[in-house]
Amino acid sequence: MPPSRETVGFVGLGNMGRPMAACLARAGFETIGYDANPRASAAFAAETGCPTAPTLAALAEAATLAVTMLPTGAIVRRVLLEEEQGALASGLGVGRSGGGLVVDMSSSEPVGTRALGEALAGRDIALVDAPVSGGVEKAADGTLAIMIGADDAAAAERAEPVLRAMGDRLFRAGPLGAGHAAKALNNYAAAAAFTAAAEALIVGEAFGLERETLLTIVNNSSGRSFNSEVPIRQEVLPRTFATGFKLGLMAKDVAIAADLAEAVGIDAPLSRDMKARWAAASAALGPDADFTRAVTIWEPA
C-alpha cells in the first residue's frame, strides 16, 4: 500500500493518461485527475470514481505529487509555469515535508526537460522524467516499460512506488532528461527499422518478389526485428494499419532524437533523413493516422 501522505494529481487524461491514472487509483493511491478538456475529466471520474480538480490551482492545493502526461514538453512547461499564473508549480507541495514533486511521463524534449528542472528547483519542486513505452493496452493493465531520469536520487525513490503502479519494467536511465532521451532514441531506432523493412518489401515487390515470401525470409534471417515480425506482418501485409500508435507521435519522437543528436554535436545523417520522412508522412496522412500507414506514402502510385 502506498504511503497515505502522497496524493497524486494526474494532469492529462487522454488515451494513455486516463488508464495510467486509473492504475494509480486501483493501486490505492489517492488520485485526483485534471484535463483541460472537461469531457476527459468527466470520463475519468465516471470510470474510476476518483475526484477531478476544476483548476490547476485546486490540483496543486490537494496534491503532493503531480504526474504529467501531455502531448509535448512545451505544453508541460506551460501547464506548470504559465497557466493560471503558474499556479501548479507555485502551490504543489507547499507546506509539506519534502516539497513538491513532478513526474513528467510525456514524450518531452530532453534538453527542455533539464531547463524545466532548473526552473522548478527554484520553487522547491523536484522533477523526474519517466516516459513510457507499451501503448494503451499496457497502460490499462499497468505493464508499461518506464525510463527514469533524475538528478535527485531521493526524488527518484519517492516517485518509484507511483511508477510501479503503472509499469512492470522500470529502468534508471541516468540524470534528468535521460529518460526522455532514451524514449526518443528507442523510437527513432524502431522507426528506422520499420522504414528499412517496409522499403525492402517495396523494392522486392517491384523486382517480382511476393511480399509474404520476402518477409518470411527476412524473419528467418539476419534482417528480422520486432518491426518486421509484428507491425509489418500483422498490420502492413493485411493492410489493417491498427497498432494504435499515432503517426504524429512517431514523427515527434524521431524529431526529438534527431534534434538531440544536433544538440550534442553528433553527426547523425540517418536521423535527419528519418525526421524528414516521418514528418512528411504525418503531414500527408494526418497526425492521428496509425504510424504503419506511412507505408502507403512510400509505395509507388
134 vs 145: CA distance, rounded Å: 6
Total domains present in the chain: 2
The percentage of the chain sitting over the pLDDT mark of 90, rounded to a whole number, equals 91
198-209 mean pLDDT: 98
Percent of the chain beyond pLDDT 70?
A: 97
Domain identity same for 52 and 33: yes
Residue indicated by cell numbers 485527475: 33
Could you tell me if 122 and 154 lie in one domain?
yes
**119 and 238 inside one domain:** no
What pLDDT does residue 200 have? 98
How confident is the model over 102-124, as a mean pLDDT?
Answer: 95
Q: Judge whether residue 98 has pLDDT over 70.
A: no
Other C-beta atoms lying within 10 Å of the C-beta of residue 92: 27
**β partners of residue 52:** 33
In a domain, 2, yes or no: no
> Catalytic pick from 183, 246, 252, 275?
183
- 190 and 283: one domain? yes
**Residue 90 covered by a domain:** yes
pLDDT for 4 equals: 45
Residue at a domain's end among 176, 202, 235: 176
Same domain, 82 and 119: yes
State pLDDT tens for residues 29-76. 999 999 999 999 999 999 999 999 999 999 999 999 999 999 999 999
Is 221's pLDDT higher than 90? Answer: yes
> Do 203 and 96 share a structural domain?
no
Q: Based on the fold, state whether residues 148 and 197 are members of the same structural domain.
A: no
For residues 132 and 57, membership in a common domain is answered with yes
Give a yes or no: residue 206 inside a domain.
yes
Question: Domain containing 255: what range?
Answer: 182-298
Q: Which of 176, 206, 239 is the last residue of a domain?
A: 176
Single pTM value for the model:
0.92
Q: Is 246 labeled as catalytic in the residue annotation?
A: no
Residue 38 sits in the same domain as residue 167: yes
Is residue 55 located within the same domain as residue 24?
yes
Instruction: Give the pLDDT score at 22.
Output: 97
Q: pLDDT tens for residues 228-281?
A: 999 999 999 999 999 988 999 999 999 999 999 999 999 999 999 999 999 999
Interval 276-298 mean pLDDT: 98
Query: In 3-state terms, what secondary structure has residue 37?
Result: coil
Of residues 35, 42, 150, the one with CA closest to residue 102: 150
Least confident of 71-80, 97-106, 158-167: 97-106
Output the pLDDT for position 2: 46
For residues 109-130, average pLDDT: 95
Question: Taking a C-beta distance cutoff of 8 angstroms, is the pair 65, 40 a contact?
Answer: no
pLDDT band at 213 (very low <50, low <70, confident <90, very high): very high
Task: Identify the CA nearest to 103 among candidates 301, 93, 198.
Answer: 93
Cα–Cα separations (whole angstroms), residue 202 to 90, 104, 198, 205, 290: 54, 39, 6, 5, 19
64, 142: one domain: yes
Q: Quick check: 96 pLDDT over 70?
A: no
Which pLDDT value is given to residue 255?
A: 97
Average pLDDT over the chain reads 95
Q: Answer yes or no: do 135 and 16 share one domain.
A: yes
